Amino acid sequence: MTYSYFSARLFADREDAAQRLAQALSQYRGKHPLVLAIPRGAVPMGRILAQELEGELDVVLVRKLGAPFNPEFAIGAIDESGWTYLSDERAGADDAYLRDEKSAQLDIMHARRRAYTPGRGPIDPAGRVAIVVDDGLATGATMIAALHAVRARKPARLVCAVPVAARDSLRLVAPNADETVCLYQPEDFFAVSRFYASFPQVEDEQVVAALRASDEARAAHPS
Mean residue pLDDT of the chain comes to 90
**By three-state DSSP, how is residue 102 classified?**
helix
Query: For the residues 157-179, what does the mean pLDDT come to?
Result: 96
**By three-state DSSP, how is residue 124 classified?**
coil
**In the structure, what pLDDT confidence band is assigned to residue 6 with cuts at 50, 70 and 90?**
very low
CA–CA separation, 73 and 191 (whole Å): 11
Which of 65-79, 127-141, 177-191, 199-213 bottoms out in mean pLDDT, i.e. has the lowest? Answer: 65-79
CA–CA separation, 186 and 194 (whole Å): 11
**In the structure, what pLDDT confidence band is assigned to residue 71 with cuts at 50, 70 and 90?**
confident
Q: What pLDDT was estimated at residue 162?
A: 97
Of 9, 14, 54, nearest to 38 (Cα)?
Answer: 14
Query: For the residues 92-101, what does the mean pLDDT come to?
Result: 88
Tell me the domains of the chain and their CATH numbers: 2-60+124-220 (3.40.50.2020)
Q: Note the pLDDT tens digit of each residue in 127-164.
A: 999 999 999 999 898 999 999 999 999 999 999 999 99
Q: What pLDDT was estimated at residue 213?
A: 87
In DSSP notation, 35-81 reads EEE-TTTTHHHHHHHHHHTT-EEEE--EEEEEETTEEEEEEEEEETT
What pTM value is reported for the model?
0.90
